[in-house]
């Protein structure tokens, strides 16, 4: 479905496990993704589905307790990041791939002025720039993300800014080196809806202007519909469905995607239409169930689901990890048809 061209990122069989006191936590357990240059891929899922750990794995930010298993592959422009040396990684991180987080207050350093924090990235990756050029670039970036009077804002500390402004500073910092890939982990979840609208509009505008790809992690299906070209739905450490956003929303192929789309109230809906309930709870990553991990909550479960774990199967324009899709697309189960 790509219009923008070459494949930028490919994740294959990513498995990231954590050794915890309660046992081995298989947070990400065989994830496949791909993202073309200039495109936006939304990674959707509920808490505990492994979407954040997937993004942290791509950034190489898994700490000592975590382990990315052998056989996992994360290729950025053809280069496997998991086998690349620390030097190569440092030249890519913050430069060609950068990341913004949900909570801008905890991601910004409270004791440094925002100008210096943006400048830090530039000084690390753009050694040839003079101090004056760095300063000019910082002002340019603050202007780009819509911070008024940037010359005066340079010297502000994070606590002097509102939540929306802080998220803009985070974005300015992430984009200072014009990355080819921006990973945004729930970038608007902590913000009010009118501020969220500002940030989403800003991200759309910058995506076009800088021609970058975005990997957007969110639980908000409204944000997905608005931002995504492609979508990957995660459940219990796996991608259970992926495909172009329109197709996934109009004809979800995995029962989990279908149930998720039916369980949220849409603006203007009333109690006359009861919300679909997904019974039970997400299973624990300490002990994933055998067979399909959604089987115990699924309306369509049959014997095979409890025995065998379905791989991602081709279903029309999508792929779905559901045995119902073994012979291609399921009959239309549109949500808003």
The CA distances from residue 55 to 58, 185, 221, 285, 324, in Å, are 5, 8, 18, 17, 29
For residue 337, the minimal CB distance to other proteins (Å) is 11
For residue 197, the minimal CB distance to other proteins (Å) is 4
For residue 333, the minimal CB distance to other proteins (Å) is 15
Helix, strand or coil, per DSSP, at residue 291:
coil
Contact positions vs other proteins (CB under 8 A):
46-47, 162, 164-165, 192-198, 200-201, 219-226, 228, 245-246, 249-250, 259-261, 263-271, 274-279, 281-282, 336
For residue 245, the minimal CB distance to other proteins (Å) is 5
Please tell me what DSSP assigns to residue 273: S
For residue 19, the minimal CB distance to other proteins (Å) is 22
Give CA 330 to chain center in angstroms: 27
Taking each helix axis from N to C terminus, what angle separates 131-144 and 114-125, rounded to the nearest 10 degrees?
A: 120
Q: Which residues contact 165 (CB under 8 A, 6 or more apart)?
A: 147
Helix, strand or coil, per DSSP, at residue 117:
helix
- Rounded Cα distance between 129 and 138, Å, is 12
**Which of residues 46 and 103 has its CB atom nearest to other proteins in the complex?**
46
**Which of residues 119 and 285 has its CB atom nearest to other proteins in the complex?**
285
**Which of residues 58 and 322 has its CB atom nearest to other proteins in the complex?**
322
Structure tokens belonging to residue 322:
């559901």
**Which of residues 300 and 307 has its CB atom nearest to other proteins in the complex?**
300
**Which of residues 13 and 160 has its CB atom nearest to other proteins in the complex?**
160
């Amino acid at each position: 479905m790509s219009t923008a061209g070459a494949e930028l990122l490919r994740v294959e069989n990513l498995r990231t496990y954590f050794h915890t006191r309660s046992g081995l936590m298989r947070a990400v357990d065989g994830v496949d993704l791909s993202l073309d240059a200039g495109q936006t891929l939304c990674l959707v899922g509920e808490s505990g589905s492994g979407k954040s750990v997937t993004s942290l794995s791509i950034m190489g930010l898994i700490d000592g307790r975590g382990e990315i298993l052998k056989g996992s592959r994360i290729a950025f422009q053809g280069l496997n990041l998991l086998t690349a040396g620390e030097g190569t990684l440092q030249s890519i991180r913050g430069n060609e791939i950068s990341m913004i987080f949900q909570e801008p207050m905890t991601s910004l350093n409270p004791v440094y002025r925002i100008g210096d924090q943006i400048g830090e990235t530039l000084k690390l990756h753009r050694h040839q720039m003079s101090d004056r050029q760095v300063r000019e670039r910082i002002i340019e970036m603050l202007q780009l993300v819509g911070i008024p009077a940037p010359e005066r804002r340079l010297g502000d500390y994070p606590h002097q800014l509102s939540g929306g402004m802080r998220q803009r500073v985070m974005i300015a910092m992430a984009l200072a080196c014009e990355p080819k890939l921006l990973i945004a982990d729930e970038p608007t979840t902590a913000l009010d809806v009118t501020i969220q609208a500002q940030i989403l509009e800003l991200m759309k505008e910058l995506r076009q202007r800088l021609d970058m790809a975005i990997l957007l992690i969110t639980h908000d299906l409204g944000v997905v519909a608005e931002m995504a070209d492609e979508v990957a739905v995660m459940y219990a450490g796996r991608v259970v469905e992926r495909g172009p956003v329109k197709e996934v929303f109009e004809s979800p192929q995995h029962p989990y995607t279908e149930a998720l789309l039916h369980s949220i109230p849409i603006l203007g809906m009333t109690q006359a239409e009861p919300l679909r309930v997904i019974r039970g709870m997400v299973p624990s990553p300490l002990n994933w169930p055998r067979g399909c991990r959604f089987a115990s909550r699924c309306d369509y479960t049959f014997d095979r689901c409890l025995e065998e774990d379905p791989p991602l199967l081709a279903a029309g324009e999508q792929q779905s990890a559901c045995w119902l899709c073994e012979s291609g697309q399921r009959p239309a189960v549109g949500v808003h048809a």
